[in-house]
Amino acid sequence: MGKKDHKDKKKKDHKKKYEEEPVEVLGIDDDEDGNEVEKLSNSFYEDELINLQVELVKMEEWIKVKKLKVVVIFEGRDAAGKGGAIKRITECLNPRITRVAALPVPTEREKTQWYFQRYVAHLPAAGEMVIFDRSWYNRAGVEHVMGFCNEEEYWDFLRSCPIFEEMLIRSGIILIKYWFSVSFKEQERRFEDRINDPTKNWKISPMDVESRSHWEDYSRAKDNMFQYTDTKQSPWYVVKSDDKKRARLNCIHHLLSKIPYKELPHEAIVLPPLKRGKSYVRPPMADQTFVPSVY
């Protein structure tokens, strides 16, 4: 079986697969509550991820054609798995339709603006989906815990945020919010992995290290945030993320369920024949500078 045939074989409808095939597991692990759970095998995870990514492409096409405006927020503790989930969602999607907004630290000018102002600039137009890798909820988390905003600004945010999100929803935006929940033990393991792996050093910042001593403060901040902003109109969806594979599959599956879509018909693409003329002569290859063939 050729490589293309093998890929095509994998691209079965994910809903049918969930109904007909048992989850293939490999070994036992503990979840964030200390309960034993079966690990997913790599083969099941990879096959299922491909199925879900095919559905994401169908959903994205639906968003484009129906001119929907979708905002997906990813929040959670450091090393909770937000980035990995976002990467798997976007890696097969069209960056002209689906884009990730990961805003840097605000400038001095932005600090004087209405708090939500710099986020509004990144909201989608019709036919677009924007994924916020952290969002305006920075104020309810790191800014509050680490003292980057005062108490008045913090409480004003908690009171204003539900109103702001209600305005977005009334304007026609589909707003979906995910909180990635990771245990202290698993976060510790991931931090150690980032410290010891030179390809992952960039993932851990001095702020991440300092936040370790504020675990309970972040817990209280998250509870407060949920109390004020986990509304019926704009709820938080919690993703258990100690198991990265399960977290990614569960999150994508849930995202697909929140945007009702249908597969749209496509016209068959036929490549035109290559027109070869006798007037073109390629310049000598020796005149070009090629990358050395090291491999």
> What is the average pLDDT across 232-241?
98
C-alpha closest to that of 210 among 155, 147, 154: 147
Task: Give the range among 1-5, 109-113, 138-142, 194-198 with minimum mean pLDDT.
Answer: 1-5
Confidence of residue 63 (pLDDT cuts 50, 70, 90): very high
Does 283 reside within a domain?
no
For the cut 80, the answer to whether the pLDDT of residue 26 exceeds it is: no
> Residue 103 belongs to a domain with what CATH number?
3.40.50.300
Confidence of residue 1 (pLDDT cuts 50, 70, 90): low
Q: Which domain holds residue 183?
A: 8-264
Confidence of residue 281 (pLDDT cuts 50, 70, 90): confident
Is the Cα dihedral 201, 80, 164, 157 positive or negative? Answer: negative
Does 282 reside within a domain?
no
Does 185 reside within a domain?
yes
The per-residue pLDDT for 33 is 55
SS (H, E, C) 133-148: ECCHHHHHCHHHHCCC
- How does pLDDT run across 42-61, given as a tens digit for each residue? 999 999 999 999 999 999 99
The structural domain count of the chain equals: 1
Tell the burial category of 134 from Cβ atoms under 10 Å away from its Cβ (0-12, 13-18, 19+): middle
d(CA 59, CA 72): 14
**Any residues with CB less than 8 A from the CB of 248 and at least 6 apart, and which?**
49, 81, 84, 85, 88
